[in-house]
Amino acid sequence: MAFETASSSKSNMLCGLFAAAMGAFVIAGAMGLFGLDLHPKDEAPRWIGVCAGAIFVAGGLAVMLQSLPAAKPAPDGGLSPNSPRWAQLVSLAFGLSIVGGLAAIGLWIAFGPGARHFSGGASFGGIGVTETLGGPHASEIFGRVVFGFGAVCACLVFALFLVDGARRLLRRD
């Protein structure tokens, strides 16, 4: 059993490192560090790419944190209350970074300036939503509404994480 735990810990560290490296690559690309301007002037601002990369960096580091011997896992997948305070604080910061980043991107898509181009769609009873609502402009409105709903949900999750995490950290005193 101890061998499986050590092996699992090593693979978690490797997967976390891979995810963090992918995020760093996305951040570097968004900042134009590869000599290519992958940022068209009429598309999303650079901070969207940086934010997307930071989500992967935080996720990878969170996986790596949970694999450390000091960070004691709880049955619910989080850290146990007897984990060190620094580990719980860093874990909370990673979680808030991930959810906050998702909320920020969703809020920009839903409420940011400029036109949005969405593809795909939904169908209710065999009737396409964009055809029912009136074509391509309705597709933009429908897409913004969907992303707005998701962003508001992410904001609520962020607030819940923040309140619950602060309460857990303060309860330890």
What would the pLDDT profile of 25-61 be if each residue is shown by its tens digit?
A: 999 988 888 765 555 565 788 899 999 999 999 999 9
CA dihedral (58, 59, 63, 64) positive or negative: negative
Q: What local confidence, expressed as pLDDT, does residue 141 receive?
A: 83
Same domain, 53 and 20: yes
Q: Would residue 2 count as lying in a domain?
A: yes
* pLDDT exceeds cutoff 50 at 64: yes
Q: What local confidence, expressed as pLDDT, does residue 74 receive?
A: 76
Same domain, 12 and 39: yes
Same domain, 88 and 169: yes
Same domain, 83 and 20: no
Same domain, 59 and 102: no
pTM of the model: 0.79
The secondary structure of 45-95 as a DSSP string is: -HHHHHHHHHHHHHHHHHHHHHTSTTSPBPTTSSB-TTS-HHHHHHHHHHH
Which DSSP symbol is given to 20?
A: H
Give CA–CA dist 79/89, Å, rounded. 10
| Structural domain count of the chain | 2
Q: Would residue 130 count as lying in a domain?
A: no
Overall average pLDDT of the 9-16 stretch: 90
Q: Would residue 94 count as lying in a domain?
A: yes
Q: What local confidence, expressed as pLDDT, does residue 40 receive?
A: 58
Give CA–CA dist 172/85, Å, rounded. 8
Domain that residue 149 falls in: 78-118+136-173
Q: Would residue 128 count as lying in a domain?
A: no
Which tens digit of pLDDT belongs to each residue from 81-131?
Answer: 788 889 889 999 999 999 999 999 999 999 988 888 776 655 555 555 555
Same domain, 39 and 62: yes
